[in-house]
Amino acid sequence: MRVIVEPDRDEVGRRAAQFVAELVRRRPTCVLGLATGGTVLGTYAELIRMHREEGLDFSRVVSFNLDEYVGLGPTHPQSYRHFMQQNFFDHINIDVRNTHVPDGRALDFEAHCEQYEKHIREEGGIDLQILGIGGDGHIAFNEPGSSLGSRTRLKTLTEETVRDNARFFDNEDEVPRLAITMGVGTILESRRCLLIACGESKAKAIRETIEGPVTAQITASALQLHREVVAILDEEAARLLERREYYRQVEHAQTLMRSGQMRPLSPTR
Ligand code: GLP
């Protein structure tokens, strides 16, 4: 896993947006996997700025969101569809028909989840999956104990997640207890993952994700099995990482290589 530590939340947003923008420019028809939550707001804000000021073009981009609360319709202010419209889609030139968020009011959830997976496959799979992380180390809504091979399905939220997410609702009782979520297996199939974390409250989960064992108790740790994950963290979220100095050296070497000041060793003839 490549680990990038930035000084603060704003820099994290900018850095993550650069990865997305680079892909969108190189492959205008790319498929993005998108996340909700406070952490990704900076990334979306920077992408909106790039769209407005630099003409970053989303017109042919396709997107799939990770999850949605069961019971909340698209216009409910706390639904993830609403979050995406308000914080991203309404401010860029993406075609709303190309944006996909699970339907929290599907009549047949099993069929809907299967269809969601099929749709991702039909679009050629996810090129870049943006991920936040829960305080308990979950990705999307894959709570501790989720199978590391899981697919899109219904999931019961833990008390910790309900408490964490209650800040967006009037009170804790209003937080849905169920969600539709892509599975860990679904996420692992994306070509590249961008894990974003900010703040002290994520430090323990980040340490366990990056330097702990792979375990279904911290579903984000399954990302260690993925071939291309970039973790972008602020200083606070990175605070408990033991190998921080090494990650810094790796980034420094990468910068030197990119600028031509250092070359990778050529194979001996
Ligand atoms: C929810 C979402 C996750 C997100 C997490 C963290 O549980 N399902 O996808 O990563 O919240 O949210 P925040 O960035 O607000 O801390």
* Cα(182) to centroid(ligand 1), Å: 13
Q: Which parts of the chain sit beneath pLDDT 50?
A: none
Closest CA to ligand 1's atom 3: 140
Q: Is 164 a catalytic residue?
A: no
Using N-to-C axis directions, what is the helix angle for 9-26 and 41-54, rounded to 10°?
50
Mean pLDDT of the chain: 96
Query: What percent helix, strand, coil does the chain show, rounded to 5?
Result: 40, 15, 40
200 CA → ligand 1 middle, Å: 15
Catalytic residue, from 6, 117, 127, 143: name it.
143
Residue 184 pLDDT: 98
Strand partners, 196: 232
Q: How many CA atoms lie within 13 A of 187 on its CB side?
A: 35
Question: How would you class 115 by CB atoms within 10 Å of its CB: exposed for 0-12, middle for 13-18, buried for 19 or more?
Answer: middle
Which of 202, 189, 90, 194 is CA-nearest to residue 138?
202
Residue whose CA is at the smallest distance from ligand 1 atom 13: 37
Q: Give the Å distance between the CA of 132 and the centre of ligand 1.
A: 5
Look up 170 and say whether it is catalytic: no
pLDDT, position 263: 80
Catalytic: which of 67, 68, 164, 208?
67
- Domains in the chain: ranges and CATH: 2-259 (3.40.50.1360)
pTM of this structure: 0.95
| pLDDT at residue 268, as a whole number | 56
| Ligand 1 atom, smallest distance to 131 CA | 10
Taking the C-alpha atoms of residue 222 and residue 140, their distance in angstroms, rounded to an integer, is 13
Catalytic residue among 46, 51, 138, 235: 138
List beta partners, residue 189: none
Q: 190 with 75: CB under 8 angstroms?
A: no
How many angstroms separate the alpha carbon of residue 141 from the centre of ligand 1?
8
